[in-house]
Structure 1
Amino acid sequence: MITNILVIDDSASMRAILQAALASSGYTVTLAADGDEGLEHALAQRFDLVLTDQYMPHVSGLDLIKQLRANQSYAQTPILVLTTESDETFKAEVRDAGATGWIEKPVDPEMLVDLVGALGDAPG
């Protein structure tokens, strides 16, 4: 069951949109402004789902996925990449790194909630 979600994006407005959509559907959301902060949160607390931007300062989404997958606690955790990329090379690269899937920006909040619900039972 997915109840606790980590959202990592260097855009404050994107974090706000994602938090509003997910929190209004009953999920607990923790926010991080870059890959370093996201990794700190992920190692300090267990999350049921990680949503990460691809292009961020310090640690990219791709590098973050590789680091999380190397940690036994996140070996099976769904990880979705938020991106503006849509080419097949990128999709293969994130899949190879261990991403469960990706969401193209701009994110449709209803589609996001539906996708999270499909990955695990909605809370409550």
Structure 2
Amino acid sequence: MADGGLNTGQPNGGRPKAPAFRHRDECALCILFAAVGGLIPAVLISSIPLLAPSAALIPVVTGLVMQGSNLGQVAGPVAVGSAVETYGWTAALAIILISALLAAVVAASARFDDATARPV
């Protein structure tokens, strides 16, 4: 112990590597997931004028979009946390995939009818 425990015969003196470098792939995927997640509010807000049936309803549609977004921010972590606690980490993947599928179905069913001009 005269060497302070550093002469253990292991690389880096027996100290564990920093978690950010040990799990580089997971870290990159988390950053990508956060970056894509940051695009969602911008896309939602910018598509409101296209989805509102009339210019007079843009504030109402904005309110509905914001309510839905806030509901997802409250209920999403609770749902994922409960599923992970009950079924393990693969349940988080299932919830994310199901949510993405539902979002794709809703986006595909949205009508972007640019043929009719709306008064602004």
TM-score, with structure 2 as normaliser: 0.24
More strand by share: 1
More helix by share: 2
**More contact order relative to length (CA 8 Å, sep ≥ 6):** 1
